[in-house]
């Protein structure tokens, strides 16, 4: 990076907000994926004005610019694929306004997801999108990836809870779209920018919709002896038009890892469980819980347990949301997949994942949002073993291709990033991709905002681009 650009950034932000030493940069060369990409400079702005000036400088010096929240993303979205500047929004972490009467809040992008719900719980409100990383992920990152979570089955993903945005465009211009109203006239620009993965603009302020806490909640744990019975229960719940607030599935391997880690009360001797939650008016919750229990027992659930109180409910959800960490105790590394399938294709897809695990001699744990068909197979591996690493990528590739083949999608909430961009032609025609490129060029004409993400680079249909392990890594015997 040009020394003059570094000097100008220091003059703008101060020396403590500009990092360019190798030991600082290496902390930002990864996220939660298996990708790597080294930035040339890290900047930590404190205001929209500073973000706008950084964008102008990046354009002046033709330098790539990548936005980053907490780095919990799972598709390489916050990684500097082509070097350049990474803007870290951790200092823009204020809740600017809470409008309880209108169920709205205005926040900066660095606000942690769960912190917003805690800030409004005294009003009987909360922020519905609840990724498993909600204790650390930021709302700016949620907006970039259009994140979901267990409870978005009933309430929708991030885009359904964003009503307005303040944006810094690639030339440094600051614009506002949407606002506090439910609907705005004209084109749905909020919907365009939410989920655009930082390739169209940098988000510096977000107006979100807050939800009112339900009158009653019931959390059910259904225990099964076979995976087929578990998935068939989900299909039957779907066919009966029952929409719980959440419907999560964990297989037996994952359950045992979670229980050893969290001690949440999960059985360790079963093939799988469904963690199902219903909420709403008391009478409706009782009726829905009874109907779900009936469906589960019809499909041979050996037990359907209802959480007795908030403590037991919280413990079950603690187990679910700490599942990734629990599996991390069993392996040096894991690769988290994120595909979507029609819920009616769950049984055959779980069988496909089992066959893929056997084919490539890999251990795969299954934990996912079964209610909306959003799969998260976790492939365990040792990144020091090059041959194993290559098998992991091939296995992930096959799982994603299966999702597309049965009428699904490449991602439900983790984004495309630099993980799946070469798979985009499996879903979209050349004309579709050309249209997306024209939309990107309209807002990001220089291509400097998060380059190398989302759209394919022409490496060939079906090729996942993942950086290999370091050359210095030793191969286990």
- Three-class HEC string of the chain: CCHHHHHHHHHHHCHHHEECCHHHHHHHCCCCCCCCCCCCEEECCCCHHHHHHHHHHHHHCCCCEEEECCCCCCCCCCCCCCCCEEEECCCCCCEEEEECCCCEEEECCCCEHHHHHHHHHHHCEECCCCCCCCCCCEHHHHHHHCCCCCCHHHHCCHHHHEEEEEEECCCCCEEEEECCCCCCCCCCHHHHHCCCCCCCCEEEEEEEECEECCCEEEEEEEEECCHHHHHHHHHHHHHCCCCCCEEEEEEHHHHHHHHHHHCCCCCCCCCEEEEEEEEECHHHHHHHHHHHHHHHHHCCCCEEEECCCHHHHHHHHHHHHCHHHHHHCCCCEEEECCEECCHHHHHHHHHHHHHHHHHCCCEEEEEEEHHHCEECEEEEECCCCHHHHHHHHHHHHHHHHHHHHCCCECCCCCCCCCCCHHHHHHCCCHHHHHHHHHHHHHHCCCCCECCCCCCCCCCCCCCCCCCCCCCCCCCCC
* Cα–Cα nearest to 106, from 240, 203, 250, 200: 203
Looking at the DSSP bridge assignments, the partners of residue 368 are: 249
Predicted confidence at residue 468, as pLDDT, reads 46
This prediction's pTM: 0.93
Contact 108, 96 (CB under 8 A): yes
How far is it, in rounded angstroms, from Cα 43 to Cα 60? 17
Predicted confidence at residue 74, as pLDDT, reads 95
Contact 370, 343 (CB under 8 A): yes
Cα dist from 335 to 12, 200, 218, 389, whole Å: 39, 27, 33, 10
Predicted confidence at residue 102, as pLDDT, reads 96
Contact 31, 78 (CB under 8 A): yes
Q: What does the block give as tokens for 186?
A: 């004209």
The CATH class of 331-443 is: alpha beta
Looking at the DSSP bridge assignments, the partners of residue 319 are: none
Domain limits, the chain? 3-88, 95-212, 216-326, 331-443
List the CATH code of the domain at 95-212.
3.30.465.10
Q: The tokens 């961009």 sit on which residue?
A: 421
Q: Has domain 216-326 been given CATH number 3.90.870.10?
A: no
pLDDT tens by residue, the chain, 477 residues:
899 999 999 999 999 999 999 999 999 999 999 999 999 999 999 999 999 999 999 999 999 999 999 999 999 999 999 999 999 999 999 999 999 999 999 999 999 999 999 999 999 999 999 999 999 999 999 999 999 999 989 999 999 999 999 999 999 999 999 999 877 788 999 999 999 999 999 999 999 999 999 999 999 999 999 999 999 999 999 899 999 999 999 999 999 999 999 999 999 999 999 999 999 999 999 999 999 999 999 999 999 999 999 999 999 999 999 999 999 999 999 999 999 999 999 999 999 999 999 999 999 999 999 999 999 999 999 989 999 999 999 999 999 999 999 999 999 999 999 999 999 999 999 999 999 999 999 999 999 999 999 999 975 433 444 444 444 333 333
3-88 and 331-443 agree in CATH topology: no
Q: What does the block give as tokens for 156?
A: 């929708």
Q: Backbone phi, then psi, for 457, in 5-degree steps?
A: -100, 5
Q: Has domain 3-88 been given CATH number 3.30.43.10?
A: yes
Contact 262, 201 (CB under 8 A): no
């Amino acid at each position: 990076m040009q020394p003059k650009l570094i000097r100008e950034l220091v003059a703008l932000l101060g020396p403590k907000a500009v990092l360019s030493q190798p030991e600082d940069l290496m902390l930002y060369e990864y996220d939660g994926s298996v990708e790597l990409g080294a930035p040339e400079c890290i900047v930590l702005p404190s205001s929209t004005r500073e973000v706008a000036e950084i964008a102008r400088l990046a354009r002046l010096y033709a330098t790539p610019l990548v936005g980053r929240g907490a780095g919990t993303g799972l598709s390489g979205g916050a990684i500097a694929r082509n070097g350049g500047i990474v803007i870290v929004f951790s200092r823009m972490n204020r809740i600017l306004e809470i409008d309880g009467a209108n169920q709205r809040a205005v926040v900066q992008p660095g606000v942690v997801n769960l912190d917003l719900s805690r800030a409004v719980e005294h009003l009987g409100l909360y922020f519905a999108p609840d990724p498993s990383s909600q204790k650390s992920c930021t709302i700016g990152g949620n907006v970039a990836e259009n994140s979901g979570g267990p409870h978005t089955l009933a309430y929708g993903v991030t885009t359904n809870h964003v009503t307005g945005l303040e944006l810094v465009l690639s030339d440094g211009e600051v614009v506002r779209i949407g606002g506090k109203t439910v609907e705005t006239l004209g084109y749905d620009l909020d919907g365009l920018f939410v989920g655009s993965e930082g390739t169209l603009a940098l988000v510096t302020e977000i107006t979100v919709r807050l939800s009112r806490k339900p009158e009653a909640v019931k959390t059910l744990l259904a225990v099964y002896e076979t995976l087929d019975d578990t998935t068939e229960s989900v299909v039957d719940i779907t066919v009966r038009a029952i929409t719980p607030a959440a419907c999560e599935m964990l297989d037996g391997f994952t359950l045992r890892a979670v229980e050893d880690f969290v001690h949440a009360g999960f059985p360790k001797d079963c093939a799988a469980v469904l963690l199902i939650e219903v909420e709403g008016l008391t009478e409706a919750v009782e009726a829905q819980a009874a109907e779900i229990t009936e469906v589960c027992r019809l499909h041979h659930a050996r037990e359907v347990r209802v959480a007795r109180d908030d403590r037991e409910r919280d413990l079950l959800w603690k187990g679910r949301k700490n599942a990734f960490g629990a599996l991390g105790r069993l392996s040096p590394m894991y690769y988290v997949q994120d595909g979507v399938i029609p819920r009616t294709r769950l049984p055959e897809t779980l069988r496909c994942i089992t066959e893929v695990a056997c084919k490539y001699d890999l251990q795969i744990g299954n934990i996912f949002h079964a209610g909306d068909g959003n799969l998260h197979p976790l492939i365990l591996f040792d990144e020091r073993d090059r041959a194993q690493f290559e098998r992991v990528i091939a296995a992930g590739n096959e799982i994603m291709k299966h999702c597309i083949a049965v009428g699904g999608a490449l991602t439900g909430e983790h984004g495309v990033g630099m993980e799946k961009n070469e798979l985009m032609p499996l879903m979209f025609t050349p004309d579709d991709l050309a249209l997306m490129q024209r939309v990107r060029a309209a807002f990001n004409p220089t291509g400097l905002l998060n380059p190398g993400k989302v759209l394919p680079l022409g490496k060939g249909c079906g090729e996942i681009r993942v950086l290999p392990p370091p050359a210095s890594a030793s191969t286990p015997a």
